[in-house]
Amino acid sequence: MREIVFDTETTGLSPLGGDRVVEIGCVEMFNHIPTGQNFHVYINPERDMPEAAFAVHGLSSAFLADKPVFAAVADAFVEFIGDAKMVAHNAAFDVSFLNAELDRLGKPPIEQARIVDTLALARRKFPFAPASLDALCNRFGIDNSRRTKHGALLDAEILAEVYVELLGGRQADLGLMVAGVRSAVERATGQRRTLVRPEPLPSRLTRAELDAHDAFIRTLGGEVIWRDYLPEPEAAKAAS
């Protein structure tokens, strides 16, 4: 299952009041494991940067002046998210800004049915406990020391870790449940099935390393077990 964990930074709190998106960060996950495919862009908001917003994320008007406007990155953003589920912390805020930007361009909005709100998940799982991203990092022992200011991609990367923990922890994605079921079946039937790769993995040893090992084994003499694993001489292979 493909999911996109995302975050935005903005010029303020109200997309209807003229505030704009200035940064988007997205992390792709497949079956709750990050794939390494990210989407990240800074955006020229075509307006000034209020001091209150600058204090949160540190993105100045001067820094954003030469960045693309949202219209220039919208197609790439829409293509990246595709039809995947969208995961965000306090998702209503981020989605309202993105949909306002998409609406300005006449593009379809991100539908509510696609949204997973980790803030709502945290409040259901830990009623009355602090549910900010920093609080959840502390709860789950996730390192957020790099988070001196808000940043969309960094926050999305941290949120991806938090999201997995909210779903029950990393072990759910390491195949342990499948392995446990397989072991139970093997115990019940008394049979063990050995999984074999259809194609062996290529050796990571170089030809020089193989030759050096071969030469060393041939110096040992006697009936050493390593001699059983020496490759056949090419002449013997040809004769057979």
Strand partners, 6: 26
Q: Is 89 a residue of the active site?
A: no
19 is in an annotated binding site: no
Active-site residue, selected from the candidate residues 40, 89, 150, 213? 150
213 is in an annotated binding site: no
Pure H helices in 59-218: 61-64, 70-81, 91-104, 118-125, 133-140, 152-166, 176-189, 207-218
Nearest to 142 by CA among 126, 120, 166: 166
Separation CA 150–CA 238 (nearest Å): 68
83 is in an annotated binding site: no
173 is in an annotated binding site: no
* Residues 154/145, Cβ–Cβ less than 8 Å: no
**Percent helix / strand / coil, the chain, rounded to 5:** 45, 15, 40
Separation CA 177–CA 146 (nearest Å): 33
Annotated binding residues for a divalent metal cation, written as ranges, equal: 7, 9, 155
Annotated binding residues for substrate, written as ranges, equal: 7, 9, 57, 155
Annotated binding residues, written as ranges, equal: 7, 9, 57, 155
> Which residues participate in catalysis according to the annotation?
150
